[in-house]
Amino acid sequence: MLDRDQVRKVAYLARLELTPEEEETFTTQLSNILDYFQQLSELDTSTVQPTTRAIDVSNVTRADTLQPYPNRDAILECAPDREGDFFKVPKIINPE
Amino acid sequence: MVTAAPAKTEYEAVIGLETHVQLKTNTKIFCNCATTFGGTPNTQVCPVCMGMPGVLPVLNQKVLEYAVKAGLALNCEIAPYSKFDRKQYFYPDLPKDYQISQYDLPIAQHGWLEIELVNKETGEARRKRIGITRLHMEEDAGKLVHGGSDRLAGSTYSLVDFNRTGVPLAEIVSEPDMRSGQEAAEYAQELRRILRYLGVSDGNMQEGSLRCDVNISVRPVGQKEFGTKVEIKNMNSFNAIQRAIEYEIERQIEAIAAGERIIQETRLWEENSQRTVSMRSKEGSSDYRYFPEPDLGPIEVSPEQLAAWKAELPELPYQKRQRYESELGLSAYDARVLTDDRAMAEYFEATVAAGAPAKPAANWLMGDISAYLNSNSNVSITSLPLKPSELAELTNLIESGTISNKIAKDILPELLEKGGSPKALIEAKGLIQISDTSVIETAIAEVLAAHPKELEQYRNGKTKMLGFFVGQVMKKTGGRADPKLTNQLLAQKLNE
């Protein structure tokens, strides 16, 4: 069960501004989602090794070969604002 | 280092370093973009490093190789199973809003490196092992330029260059084993030396390919618990690391002695004012919400691969230092100077292998040859026309008495510029040392005959005149008379 303070913290970490009504709604909804996943704990996993992934693939690497991306302008154009070669972002406020 | 405080309590500093080094690959850690320094902003970017939806990062195999080699050289255990994690934080230099790093299963852990502090006067060396907590792989962030002000404070907007985003880094964390600014600076230098020997990083501090953050606290000597630690950033030379630490030790001891509390915070080293300034305290520790990176599979370095990489490691600086002292009989100071740069050490070793006695070879390299290289920035030890075998020949010509040290110094500039056989050169120039007693005696007789007044002075007890006569004989023989023999014969003749 998730409480409202936890919802506020998650919202803060995700830089979301929620109204009191939304906080209420998400507290219920997120709790429901967690409850749903909680069903998984019915399984007996005492003999299963912990894992971080479901697919058994390791050591996927690539050669160190240069291949510049040809369409750099398309990337710059994706941003809301630019100045010459730079992306332009609003005034940065240091997190306290 | 132990520093005496006014209240007579003795304090010691506890110092650990966190170092980020850029790995010297052609391409970024997870995509095929260039890693070159100083390119036009945002020309070394692609959808992967810009974190576009749906892209798939793939690990650069050189990054893995370099990280493992660095780990091995730092005497670490290499993880049989390692993975990447996402570290979440918001800052405009991070396009994905998370950094791909390694959290609980870094590629290397539990190592050490050995630092050596040589007292230049006594030549005595003190060695100390500094523990390495861990080494992990991660991606670098972009670069911000603040608009409307040269600092973040007061700026009205910022400009972002993502060329550096995704450049491969190794983060190397030390144990809090250092006790002085000197030890910390030496640790950082030794770390860079090792990485350069391996060829995995150029360690250029000016270009940001080696960055050190210092964690430092002080405590009364004998106390087991650590004091409150402060992080210092923004040092861009080894010297600055040492001075920042020395400043900070003083500051913390003074504060404690005055009954103040040390605040856990990040401080910036200000080069201009030579002090550290608070950068706002970050007490509420950041919540990075690490979780395993789903786009990248785990890394399992096989024992065969590990053995193959281990076999490729060069002899490391501290091993060379010990060998130069024990096998070649060099002083700790000489060993240290020669091994600072791998190319120099290899040149020296090739010279010795070609038959040169170690100490004279070391002297030539550390003296005249280093001076020449320092004043000719377009020549390096590897491109020097004078080859190791030729330097060996030169030292042997002196050892055998064929030429004097003075003659060797005279012909050195030409050898450094053009290379070639020193023996052939002295023969061509007719500079072979005169060790023929009769020739020298003739010269002496002529000199004495030409300077009756000086001879008179000598015979009246002014024995310092010997030097004058030696000089005259040298002049007469074009510097070729064997100095030792000349001295002997002169002394005989004068005291007859």
pLDDT band at B48 (very low <50, low <70, confident <90, very high): very high
For the stretch A24-31, contacts whose Cβ atoms lie closer than 8 Å and that sit 24 or more positions apart, written own/partner, are A27/A2, A27/A3, A30/A2, A31/A1, A31/A2
Best residue in B68, B137, B160 for a mutation probing chain A (most A CBs within 10 Å): B160
- Of the listed ranges B15-24, B78-87, B157-166, B399-408, the least confidently predicted one is B399-408
Banded model confidence at residue A96, pLDDT cuts 50, 70, 90: very low
Q: What is the mean pLDDT of chain B?
A: 91
Do B163 and B125 belong to one domain? yes
Nearest CA distance, A10 vs chain B (angstrom): 10
- Mean local confidence (pLDDT), B265-277: 91
In a domain, B29, yes or no: yes
Residue A87 with chain B: CB contacts under 8 Å: 42, 159-160, 162
How much is the pLDDT for B389?
95
Cross-chain Cβ contact B59/A72 below 8 Å = no
Q: Which of B429, B454, B472 is the last residue of a domain?
A: B429
Of A13, A57, A91, the CB nearest to B289: A13
Q: Which residue has the higher pLDDT, B436 or B382?
A: B382
Are B449 and B472 members of one domain? yes
Taking Cα atoms as reference points, which of B379, B426, B386 lies closest to residue B402? B426
Q: Say what the pLDDT of residue B151 is.
A: 66
Cβ–Cβ gap A58/B297 under 8 Å: yes
Out of B68-82, B146-160, B367-381, least confident range: B146-160
Model-level ipTM above the cut of 0.90: no
pLDDT at B283 over 70: no
Residue B132 in this model has a pLDDT that exceeds 90: yes
In a domain, B234, yes or no: yes
The pLDDT assigned to B60 comes to 98
Question: Is the domain of B48 the same as that of B117?
Answer: yes
User: Could you tell me the pTM of the whole model?
Assistant: 0.85
Same domain, B167 and B281: yes
Q: Of the ranges A31-45, B266-280, B289-303, B372-386, which one carries the lowest mean pLDDT score? A: B266-280
Average pLDDT value for residue range B362-376: 95
Identify the band that residue B455 occupies on the pLDDT scale cut at 50, 70 and 90: confident
Predicted confidence (pLDDT) per residue in A1-21, tens digit:
789 999 998 898 888 899 999
Is A61 within 8 Å of B43 when comparing Cβ atoms?
Answer: no
**Per-residue pLDDT for A36 more than 70?**
yes
Q: Cβ A52–B156 below 8 Å, yes or no? A: no
Taking residues B331-345, what's their average pLDDT? 94
B59 and A62 within 8 Å at the Cβ level: the answer is yes
- The pLDDT score that the predictor gives to residue B466 is 85
In a domain, B127, yes or no: yes
* Residue B179 · residue B221 · CB < 8 Å: no
Give the SS3 label for residue A17. Answer: coil
Q: Please indicate, yes or no, whether residues B274 and B378 belong to a single structural domain of this protein.
A: no
Q: State the pLDDT at residue B173.
A: 98
Q: Is the pLDDT of residue B441 over 90?
A: no
Lowest-confidence range among B5-14, B180-189, B424-433? B5-14
Q: Are B441 and B365 part of one and the same domain?
A: no
In terms of domains, do B288 and B162 share one?
A: yes
Both B408 and B471 in one domain: the answer is: no
Q: Report if residue B44 sits inside a domain.
A: yes
Residues B474 and B397 in one domain: no
Q: How close A8 gets to chain B, by Cα (Å)? A: 14
Is the domain of B270 the same as that of B134? Answer: yes
Please give the pLDDT value at position B282. 53
Decide which of B282, B305, B328 is a domain's last residue: B305
The pLDDT value given to residue B22: 97
Interchain CB distance below 8 Å, B161 and A92: no
Q: Region B86-112: what's the mean pLDDT?
A: 94
Q: Are residues B374 and B468 in the same domain?
A: no
B375, B407, B429 - which closes a domain: B429
Alpha-carbon separation of residue B120 from B123, B151, B277, B325, B331 (angstroms): 5, 41, 33, 16, 11
* Residues spanned by the domain of B453: 437-494
